[in-house]
């Protein structure tokens, strides 16, 4: 039960850390002291640290097999994580008033919205892809719970955040949404050098995850 106890505790801390700091009385207090960027950076570091703990706790939980492993299952996360890394590189530190994690949202331009032209919640899309892709090669109970909950968390979070943003932004949300829908499917980036840099970051992140995966999670993703 020790393994299950840590797993349950890690998930409890994860959900508390993702709900308490963003509540209306708490977030303004933190932003006033840390600044907008400081809050975003701190919240991101906390989220990654707790996520790492949850994943590690799943690996230490008692092993209960639901389906067996086959080598082909590794190809799903290998392909999906390339897409995930590119989404993250395209979405982080850019304006996105439709979701969380946006930076300098007051400078948002629907005509040059980048990845927001195609998905309103890119970070949640990346989380859902990560979770669904990792289900196939991890057929034990703890990991199915882990990745299943994260996939559900991402999918349910999208409409919840959309409703909250509609309340916060009012008519502006609908104006921006209409402008995005009427914008060209391939908008010109703010700068080609910036677009190339984000592509390089995505490729670099993918390579770093492949190299660090055995050290971070004890599993080599390469066949």
pLDDT of 2 reads: 59
The whole-angstrom separation of Cα 5 and Cα 2 is 5
pLDDT of 174 reads: 95
Among the listed residues 56, 72, 71, 15, the one whose alpha carbon sits nearest the alpha carbon of residue 143? 56
> Where do the domains of the chain lie?
1-62, 67-223
The Cβ of residue 87 has, within 10 Å, a number of other Cβ atoms equal to 21
Phi-psi region of 170 (alpha: psi -120 to 50; beta: other; left: phi over 0): left
The whole-angstrom separation of Cα 62 and Cα 13 is 20
Residue-by-residue pLDDT tens, the chain, 223 positions? 457 999 999 989 988 887 777 777 877 888 888 887 787 788 878 888 898 899 889 989 999 999 998 888 999 999 999 999 999 999 988 899 999 877 788 889 888 888 999 999 999 999 999 999 999 999 999 999 999 999 998 999 999 999 999 998 999 999 999 999 988 887 777 778 888 999 999 999 999 999 998 888 878 887 6
Q: Which letter, b or e, does each residue of 112-142 get, where b requires 16 or more Cβ atoms within 10 Å of its Cβ? A: ebbbbbebbbbbbbbbbbbbbbbbbbbbbeb
pLDDT of 1 reads: 47
Q: How far is CA 94 from CA 98, 128, 195, in A?
A: 12, 20, 12
What is the pTM assigned to this prediction? 0.86
């Amino acid at each position: 039960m020790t393994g299950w106890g840590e797993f349950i505790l890690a998930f409890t801390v994860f959900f508390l850390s993702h709900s308490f700091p963003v509540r209306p009385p708490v977030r303004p207090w933190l932003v006033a002291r840390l600044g907008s960027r400081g809050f975003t950076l701190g919240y991101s570091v906390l989220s990654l640290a707790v996520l790492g703990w949850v994943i590690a706790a799943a690996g230490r939980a008692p092993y209960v097999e639901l389906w067996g492993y086959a080598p082909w299952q590794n190809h799903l996360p290998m392909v999906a994580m390339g897409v995930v890394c590119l989404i993250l590189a395209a979405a982080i530190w850019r304006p996105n008033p439709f979701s969380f994690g946006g930076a300098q949202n007051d400078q948002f331009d629907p005509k040059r919205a980048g990845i927001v032209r195609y998905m309103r919640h890119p970070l949640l899309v990346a989380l859902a892809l990560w979770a669904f892709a990792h289900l196939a090669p991890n057929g034990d109970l703890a990991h199915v719970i882990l990745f299943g909950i994260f996939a559900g968390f991402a999918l349910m979070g999208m409409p919840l955040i959309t409703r909250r943003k509609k309340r916060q932004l009012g008519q502006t949300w609908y104006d921006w949404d209409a402008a995005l829908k009427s914008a060209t499917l391939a908008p010109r980036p703010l700068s080609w050098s910036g677009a190339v840099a984000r592509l390089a970051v995505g490729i670099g992140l993918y390579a770093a995850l492949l190299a660090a995966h055995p050290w971070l999670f004890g599993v080599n993703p390469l066949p």
